[in-house]
Amino acid sequence: KELIVANEQIRQLVLSQKEFIDITAHELRTPIQAISGNFELIKMTYVPSLFQVSSNRQNSNNIDKDFEILFKDKNRLNDFAFGLVSTYRNAQRLEKLVNVILVASRIESNRLELHKESFNLNEEIQNVIKDVHNKIDLSSHHGDSPPSIDIVFEPKEDPITIFADKIRIFEVISNLINNAITFSNGESITISVKKFQNNENEMNHVKDDDLVYVERDIGKKKDECVLISIKDKGKGIDKEILPRLFNKFVTKSDQGTGLGLFIAKNIIEAHGGRIWAQNNKNEKGATFSFSLPINK
Ligand SMILES: Nc1ncnc2c1ncn2[C@@H]1O[C@H](COP(=O)(O)OP(=O)(O)OP(=O)(O)O)[C@@H](O)[C@H]1O
Ligand SMILES: [Mg+2]
């Protein structure tokens, strides 16, 4: 009997690994196809000489000629430039995807390592906000102007020094803010941070709301913790995915892999914290919150 159970467990494991490979390979295909399509155009129409093998001198003449022709035709030049930007974007997407897949795969096999250090959480949140704004500026510079986003963060207490993996916490906050931006149609986003003792009532009022996910055993010890909330005024979390929100590959976005929240949950829990989400009561949007022990 034990053998049958063990066999079934292995079968499930193999199946879930296959699913992981299938889905991630599928995700990688889209940007790769875009990049290779763009280069195909360069090869076939814009600068074919780049891909031709001939003597060095001859080749460089041919390349000069191709570029001369290209520069004379503004429309084609525009298309060419557009293709380059698209290649850059897709390469970035690919890089991001590979990182996300690597982290998810480490989580799956219990290989996620934390490198903890002391840092000011407020400063790190400011860094994420700066990074998000830089990325928005960059993409509006590249043609499509996403609405500029108002991210409100006014820490009431500073510094809030925590002992945690700075890079991973950056990733979590960055993912939550990016989600808020994606699903909030340009409306402002508010971030708040506060300290609490993890056996205080602080969490209880949160518990009374209709939560999507919250661990109820917050603990009896008087540990000092910090609670970070990211509130948006967007369309709220789709009811259909609410119960599975933090599972991998759960997504309602065309571009998304559905790994962001899965990774966030695992990073926060590896720190001994909790993460949950709720649709706002009596107003639009959602609030994602997580707690972290301060661990001085
Ligand atoms: N602030 C939010 N408001 C509404 N829905 C949200 C919000 N944040 C997340 N969601 C829902 O949860 C889903 C999963 O989010 P998650 O970050 O895990 O994946 P994703 O953003 O779709 O893709 P990626 O892997 O690129 O992050 C989203 O597709 C969306 O449907
Ligand atoms: Mg996301």
End of a domain among 108, 143, 174? 108
Residue among 251, 263, 278, 284 to mutate when testing ligand 1 (max atoms within 8 A of CB): 251
Q: Between the CA of residue 57 and those of 46, 62, 144, 204, what are the distances in Å?
A: 20, 9, 40, 75
Same domain, 259 and 128: yes
Spatial CA neighbour of 276 closest among 260, 290, 262: 290
Same domain, 220 and 255: yes
Atom number in ligand 1 closest to CA 180:
1
173: CA distance to ligand 2 center in Å?
Answer: 11
| Closest ligand by atom to 240 CA | 1
31: CA distance to ligand 2 center in Å?
Answer: 17
Spatial CA neighbour of 86 closest among 142, 130, 40, 127: 142
Same domain, 138 and 59: no
Inter-residue contact 104 to 262 (CB < 8 Å): yes
Instruction: Give the residue whose CA is nearest to atom 1 of ligand 1.
Output: 180
| Closest ligand by atom to 181 CA | 1
Same domain, 121 and 261: yes
Instruction: Give the residue whose CA is nearest to atom 13 of ligand 1.
Output: 251
Same domain, 145 and 85: no
35: CA distance to ligand 2 center in Å?
Answer: 23
Per-residue pLDDT of the chain (296 residues; tens, 9 = 90+): 899 999 999 999 999 899 999 999 999 999 999 999 999 999 999 999 999 887 777 888 999 999 999 999 999 999 999 999 999 999 999 999 999 999 999 998 899 999 999 999 999 999 999 999 988 877 776 655 566 789 999 998 999 999 999 999 999 999 999 999 999 988 999 999 999 987 644 444 444 444 444 444 544 456 899 999 999 999 999 999 999 999 999 999 888 899 999 999 999 999 999 999 999 999 999 999 999 999 76
Same domain, 191 and 227: yes
Inter-residue contact 121 to 161 (CB < 8 Å): yes
Atom number in ligand 1 closest to CA 257:
25
Strands (E), 46-126: 117-120
Same domain, 93 and 149: no
Same domain, 25 and 84: yes
Q: Is beta strand 161-164 parallel, antiparallel or unpaired with respect to 274-279? A: unpaired
Same domain, 82 and 146: no
- Which segments of 148-272 does DSSP mark as H helices, in order? 166-182, 202-208, 260-270
CB count within 10 Å of CB 219 equals 14
Contact residues for 293 (Cβ-Cβ < 8 A; gap 6+): 198, 223, 224, 225, 271, 272, 273
CATH code for the domain of 204: 3.30.565.10
Domain count, the chain: 2
Amino acid sitting at position 16: S
The residues placing their C-beta within 5 Å of ligand 2, an ion, are 179, 260
Ligand 1 pocket, Cβ-based, cut-off 6 angstroms: 175, 179-180, 183, 232, 234, 236-238, 241, 245, 250-253, 256-262, 286
182: CA distance to ligand 2 center in Å?
Answer: 8
End of a domain among 108, 140, 175? 108
Same domain, 174 and 72: no
18-22: long-range contacts (C-beta < 8 A, 24 or more apart)?
Answer: 20/104, 20/105, 20/108, 20/248
Domain containing 64 equals 2-108
| Closest ligand by atom to 183 CA | 1
Exposed, middle or buried by CB within 10 Å (0-12, 13-18, 19+), for 218? buried
End of a domain among 79, 108, 137? 108
